[in-house]
Amino acid sequence: MGSRQIVEKSLTLLRSLPRISLNNIRDNPGSKKTQKRGRGQHGGDKHGSGNKGSGQRQNFMRLGYETGNNPFYLRVPQEHYYRGHHHRRQYPPLSLLTLQRIIDTNRVDVTVPIDIASIVKTGFYSFFPDQKHFGINLIDEGVDIFEAKINIEVQWASEQVIAAIERNGGVITTAYYDPHSLFLLRNPKKFFETGQAIPRRMIPPPDAIEYYTSAENRGYLADPDQISEARLKLAQKYGYKLPVIENDPKYNMLCERKDPRQIFYGLEPGWVVNLKDECILKPKDEELKRFYSL
C-alpha cells in the first residue's frame, strides 16, 4: 500500500514538474571522477608511475631510439625518392566528381568561365599557396559521370580529363600562376581591400614552360591552331564526336580566355578596384601604362 502511494505521489509530482531541458539537468551521480592522485607525505607515494627509470620520470625515449645502438631505421640504407619534395610545385587534386557536384549544387556559375578563384570560392577545395600549392590538378575520378559543358581553367590536367570535358562540348585550359597571383585569386576581396593596383601575372619557370606551351596539355601559351588539331586528335583517340563550338549558343563564353599577364577575368593589371565606392581606377600615366603592359 505504502509503495503504491509513493509511486502515485511521485507520478503526480512528475506531472507538475517542468519538462527536462538543458537548464535543469545535471550529471549522473558518480559520472565525474574525483582526482585520483593523492598528495601529502605518504598519500601520493609514486602516483602509480612505478619505480625508477623512464616510467617514473615520464621521460620516454624518442621513437626508434635504441639507447646508443645504431637504430634500426638508420641501419638500412635509404633511397631518397622524395628529397626536395618540399621545394617542388604541388598541385592538390580536385576530382571531376567533385566538380560535377559543385555544379549540381549551384556553387559555380557555368554560364561564365570557371577559374581557380571560383573553385576556391565554393569551399570544396582547400588551397594554400604558402604551402607550395600552385593550383588545381583536375583528376579523372568521376570521368564517366561528368556531364557539364564548361569553360574551365586549371593548372594541371590529364588526358582523360581533357577528353571528358571536351566530349561534353566544353573547353579546358591549363594556365600557370605565380604564387603572388595565387594569393590574390584565393581571396580577391581581401586584396581589393588593401587598395593596391592589380599586378601582372609572371611567366612560368623554365621547367614548367614545356607543359604550358604544349597543345596536348591545352597550355595557355600554346598555338590555338595546334590546340584545335589536338582536340580533334583526342576525339579520334577516345572515340567520341567532337561538338562544334562555333555553332554553340555559348560560343562567346567558351572562347573567353585570360591574357597571359592577366590574373582576374575582365580586370586588367594596373587597375585599382574599390569595393566601397564600387568604382575602378584606371591609370592614365604613360609610365604606369608601359609597366603594366609589359
Residues 238-277 that bind other proteins (CB under 8 A): 260-261, 264-267, 270, 272-277
User: Does 229 participate in binding other proteins (rule CB under 8 A)?
Assistant: no
Work out how close the CB of 188 gets to other proteins at its nearest, in angstroms, rounded to a whole number. 4
Among 18, 40, 77, 206, binds other proteins (CB under 8 A): 206
- The DSSP secondary structure of 99-168, one letter per residue, reads HHHHHHTTSS-TTS-B-HHHHHHHTSS---GGGTB---EEE-TTTTT-----EEEESEE-HHHHHHHHHT
Residue of 188, 201, 221, 199 whose CA lies nearest to 118: 188
User: Cα 51 from chain centroid?
Assistant: 50
User: Does 290 participate in binding other proteins (rule CB under 8 A)?
Assistant: yes
Sign of CA dihedral 213, 117, 194, 131: negative
Among 102, 157, 227, 230, binds other proteins (CB under 8 A): 102
Residue type, 151: N
Among 89, 90, 92, 97, binds other proteins (CB under 8 A): 97
Torsion of CA 126, 179, 218, 158, to 10 degrees: -40
User: Does 280 participate in binding other proteins (rule CB under 8 A)?
Assistant: yes
Work out how close the CB of 190 gets to other proteins at its nearest, in angstroms, rounded to a whole number. 10
User: Does 285 participate in binding other proteins (rule CB under 8 A)?
Assistant: yes
Give, in order, the Cα–Cα distances in Å from 20 to each of 26, 28, 71, 89, 241: 10, 14, 60, 57, 66
**Cβ-based nearer residue to other proteins, 236 or 274:** 274
Task: Name the one range near other proteins by CB under 8 A: 6-14, 40-48, 102-110, 132-140.
Answer: 102-110
User: Does 158 participate in binding other proteins (rule CB under 8 A)?
Assistant: no
Distance between CA 293 and CA 280 in Å, rounded? Answer: 18
Strand (E) or helix (H) holding 272: strand 272-274
**Cβ-based nearer residue to other proteins, 232 or 281:** 281
> Interface with other proteins by CB under 8 A: which residues?
20-22, 25, 97-107, 109, 112, 117-118, 121, 142, 145-147, 187-189, 192-197, 202-204, 206, 209-210, 213, 221, 260-261, 264-267, 270, 272-285, 287-288, 290-291, 293-294
